[in-house]
Amino acid sequence: MKINVLKNYKELSSTVADIVEEQITKHPLTKLGLPTGSTPFGMYDELVNKKLDWKSVITFNLDVYLMNITRPQSYQSYMRKNLFDRTNIYPDNSHFPFRPFSAFEDKIKGSKGIDLCILGIGSNGHIAFNEPGSSFKSRTRVVNLDEQTIIDNARFFDSLDDVPTQAITMGLGTIMESKKIVLIANGVKKKSILNQAMLGIITEDVPASILQNHKNVKIYYCD
């Protein structure tokens, strides 16, 4: 599987923003799968600056922490701040994983599936919050976050103890049904897990390795 190495974070962000732009421009009724975290900040900024028409776009976020959603660290707050409040997307068209999970999955299927899913990768190889050991067939569900994920994400919270220990995530099976997938990774800290996931053996111990089985996936990395 090819890992496209880009010059810097600016190029990473604009490359993936251009892919989203092309998708939305060609297919205004697009359904997007969207990540949070630090890697997509630049992509969201670039997308906002493009002033695209989001009125027919439907979004499905990959995951949410189990926490008070009004707090600034919630992924609902993150998406409002970084994308939704800065575009003309209809609030009713932006979805976060919800209970019952079968209804969330039906919502994706009912909209004819995700056309383009953007992913980040955790330092332990997770995609969305599918931690190592997650079944390749997994669907949307509650998960316990890995110790490594809690440590990695503590930078967004006041202290380690403040980081939620559980989340709701789309499953690997759910993500793999997306028609196109783009994974972005930024920083040397991600290099070895990215190589392992994309060039190593396909194993549930490295959840992102399942992407090697997808027919339309692009990987972008910068140091």
Task: Tell me whether residue 31 or residue 126 sits nearer to ligand F6R (CB atom).
Answer: 126
Q: Is 8 a catalytic residue?
A: no
CB 166 within 8 A of CB 153: no
Q: Which of 6, 23, 35, 194 binds ligand F6R (CB under 6 A)?
A: 35
Calpha distance 66→83 (Å, rounded): 21
Calpha distance 18→6 (Å, rounded): 14
Q: Which of 124, 177, 204, 214 is catalytic?
A: 124
CB 33 within 8 A of CB 60: yes
Taking phi over 0 as left and psi of -120 to 50 as alpha, with beta for the rest, 107 belongs to alpha
Question: Shortest gap between Cβ of 110 and ligand F6R (angstroms)?
Answer: 23
Task: Tell me whether residue 20 or residue 128 sits nearer to ligand F6R (CB atom).
Answer: 128
Q: Does residue 146 belong to the site contacting ligand F6R (CB under 6 A)? A: no
**Site size toward ligand F6R, by CB under 6 A:** 13
Q: Which of 105, 115, 131, 146 is catalytic?
A: 131
Report the DSSP beta bridge partners of residue 195.
Answer: none
Per CB under 6 A, contacts with ligand F6R among 94-133 are 120-122, 126-128
Q: Is 126 a catalytic residue?
A: yes
Q: Which residues contact 99 (CB under 8 A, 6 or more apart)?
A: 168
Task: Tell me whether residue 20 or residue 127 sits nearer to ligand F6R (CB atom).
Answer: 127
Question: Shortest gap between Cβ of 27 and ligand F6R (angstroms)?
Answer: 23
Query: Strand 166-169 and strand 63-65: pairing?
Result: antiparallel
Q: Is 53 a catalytic residue?
A: no
According to DSSP, residue 112 is labeled T
Interacting residue ranges for ligand F6R, rule: CB under 6 A: 35-39, 62-63, 120-122, 126-128
Among all residues, which ones are annotated catalytic? 63, 124, 126, 131
